[in-house]
Amino acid sequence: MDAKIKAVGKLTQVAEKRRDQVGQQLESMRQQSQHLELQLSQLSQLRTHQSGELQQNTTMTSANLMNLNMVDQMLHKMLVHHRHEHAVMEAQCSSVQKELEHKHARVKGLEQVMERWQAKQNYEKARKEQKMIEDIINSRIRKRVL
């Protein structure tokens, strides 16, 4: 039984280590997602500011209009790209979150198995000690009777 408990203890340690690694990976991905979200909001603000400048400036040359139009198109492409990248990052975070929950459940299960086996081992040990005490008492009573 000791070997089983030691094996489950080691499995628990390995599972905890893997769970912690997945947790760190998830935290890193969340930080990346927040960074992308910040960039996305900054790009949106930049695009809004740029289009506001276009409306304020009434005397534009055709070159300025073309440049502003190209800037608007590039900003739009960047916004679309960042939105897609953010959506992918969110999906990956969700996947890693589910994996983390699965790893946590595995660790909990291993801990419960180890606790059950330790309780069983303690019960059997106590039962053996009680049996030994009863045998000692019985042998002393037999000696007195004889």
For residue range 10-37, list pLDDT tens digits in order: 888 898 999 899 889 989 988 988 888 8
Task: Work out how many domains the chain is built from and give that number.
Answer: 1
Which pLDDT band, with edges at 50, 70 and 90, does 5 fall under?
A: confident
Q: For 32, how many CA atoms within 13 A lie in the half-sphere containing its CB?
A: 16
Q: Which domain holds residue 135?
A: 2-145
CATH number for 63 = 1.10.287.1700
What's the pLDDT at 54? 62
What's the pLDDT at 58? 60
pLDDT tens, 105-132? 999 998 999 899 999 999 999 999 999 9
Structure tokens at 28: 């890193």
- What are the helix and strand counts (H, E) for the chain? 2, 0
The model carries a pTM of 0.64
pLDDT tens, 66-99? 777 787 788 888 888 888 988 898 899 899 899 9
What's the pLDDT at 121? 92
For the purposes of burial, counting CB atoms within 10 Å of the CB of 43, is it exposed (0-12), middle (13-18) or buried (19 or more)? middle
CA distances from 62 to 57, 59, 65, 69 (A): 13, 10, 5, 10
